Amino acid sequence: MNIKDKIQKDIALKPFTTWQVGGAAKYYLEIKSKDDLSAAYFWAKDKQKKIYILGGGSNILVPDNGVDGLVLRMLNDKIEVKGERLECGAGAGLSSAIIKATGNNLSGLEWASGIPRATIGGSIRGNAGAFGQRMADLVETIEAFYIKTKKFIVFSNRDCKFIYRSSVFKEKADYLVWSATLRLHKEKPETIRARIEESLSHRVRRYPKLPGVGSIFKNLDPLDIEKGNPMLMNELKDKIGRTGKISAGLLIDMCGLKGKTIGGVKVSLEHANHLVNTGHARAEEIVMLISYIKQQVRDKFAIELQEEIQYFGFE
Ligand SMILES: Cc1cc2nc3c(=O)[nH]c(=O)nc-3n(C[C@H](O)[C@H](O)[C@H](O)COP(=O)(O)OP(=O)(O)OC[C@H]3O[C@@H](n4cnc5c(N)ncnc54)[C@H](O)[C@@H]3O)c2cc1C
């Protein structure tokens, strides 16, 4: 079938986001093959449409009036086990990868248990992590699509330039993640199960039940706090977490913002770095609450919070 016959129009994106917020994609295509991916880029170039890549929608905010462009939803979700390696399509769910790994006594991804809907591609782009571990520790190679040439290129772990919650795929919009080889290691099944349980129970205890997207803001580097506000850093010196960072949620909490509500969006009472949809949140209200939090933290501490979430199709 020709690519233009596969592209759908005016598809609601809300169900594809964990926040359950936002309007429709003007054009929408589910990507399962390399040919369709290339063809989509040629179509968009010809029609002068912008392309947006959608993974599991667990880290994005979609505007209320929708996305004026072509949204490609990554559904290349094959996972194969090769010895101690997992070969995963970018559209494969982290949770499916954990199930596959566990079934083969492979350890390394347990920290991600309980992150809903996230895909391998989205998690590599943002170098997702928890409990001191992150995707960068597991990636052996990435096959990426280079948008300029419409060719596929292999990246080593080093080429990916992973840093805290970022990678070359985030810094440069020229590439998208097509597939990944993750290097895990053999472990006793009971050890793997115990780590999964630990991650799940931590998330159940600490994280809100209402729809959200995980942490809104990046945690902070103590050196940056020290530069902007040495007195505050002195107060927080025993609050440095396992990742060497200071929790953004802590600063938001210190501003007394837990429970702060604008329309249908609220700062979670369980975790101040999470904003939850209490029913009918609008993207506009989320943007306002994010801006209010940043202003409060700036006024109180002279610290600038930076979003971890991605604004999807706002420009
Ligand atoms: C309850 C909850 C808990 C969470 N806990 C954590 C946590 O512990 N640690 C953590 O790091 N995150 C956490 N998150 C955030 C989120 O799950 C991760 O950031 C996840 O990796 C995003 O993956 P995704 O597939 O949903 O990406 P999406 O939200 O779909 O997209 C995120 C960004 O990646 C881009 N993208 C998606 N796929 C690709 C691709 N193949 N190639 C290039 N770009 C792509 C999108 O264009 C977008 O800019 C949590 C979220 C929720 C809802």
**Which residue do the tokens 């292999």 mark?**
154
Same domain flag for 58 and 137: no
Give the structural domain span for 216. Answer: 208-311
Ligand 1 centroid, distance to 59 Cα (angstroms) = 4
Ligand 1: does its nearest atom lie under 6 Å from the Cβ of 18? yes
Give domain status of residue 287, yes or no: yes
- pLDDT tens string, the chain, 315 residues long: the values are 899 999 999 999 999 999 999 999 999 999 999 999 999 999 999 999 999 999 999 999 999 999 999 999 999 999 999 999 999 999 999 999 999 999 999 999 999 999 999 999 999 999 999 998 999 999 999 999 999 999 999 999 999 999 999 999 999 989 999 999 999 999 999 999 999 999 999 999 989 999 999 999 999 999 989 988 888 888 888 888 888 899 999 999 999 999 999 999 999 999 999 999 999 999 999 999 999 999 999 999 999 999 999 999 997
**Cβ burial, residue 205 (10 Å; 0-12/13-18/19+):** exposed
Instruction: Tell me, using a 6 A CB cutoff, whether residue 93 lines ligand 1.
Output: no
Does residue 213's CB lie within 6 angstroms of at least one atom of ligand 1?
A: yes
310 lines ligand 1 (CB under 6 A): yes
CATH of the domain at 48: 3.30.43.10
Tell me whether residue 5 is in a domain. no
Tokens 């990246």 belong to residue: 155
> Which CATH number characterizes residue 274's domain?
3.90.78.10
The total number of structural domains in the chain stands at: 3
Residue in 59, 61, 98 with CA at minimum distance from that of residue 315: 61
pTM, two decimal places: 0.95
3-state secondary structure of 54: strand
Q: Are residues 230 and 145 in the same domain?
A: no
Same-domain pairing of 242 and 137: no
We report the CATH number of the domain holding residue 172 as: 3.30.465.10
250 membership: H or E segment, kind and range? helix 248-254
Specify whether 62 is located in the same domain as 132. Answer: no
Within this chain, do residues 91 and 186 fall inside the same structural domain, yes or no?
Answer: yes
Euclidean distance between CA atoms 111 and 146, whole angstroms: 30
Q: 153 lies in a domain?
A: yes
Task: State whether 112 and 186 are in the same domain.
Answer: yes
**Alpha carbon nearest to ligand 1 atom 49, residue:** 310
Residue 68 and residue 128 share a domain: no
Atom of ligand 1 nearest to the CA of 58: 26
Contact 71, 29 (CB under 8 A): yes
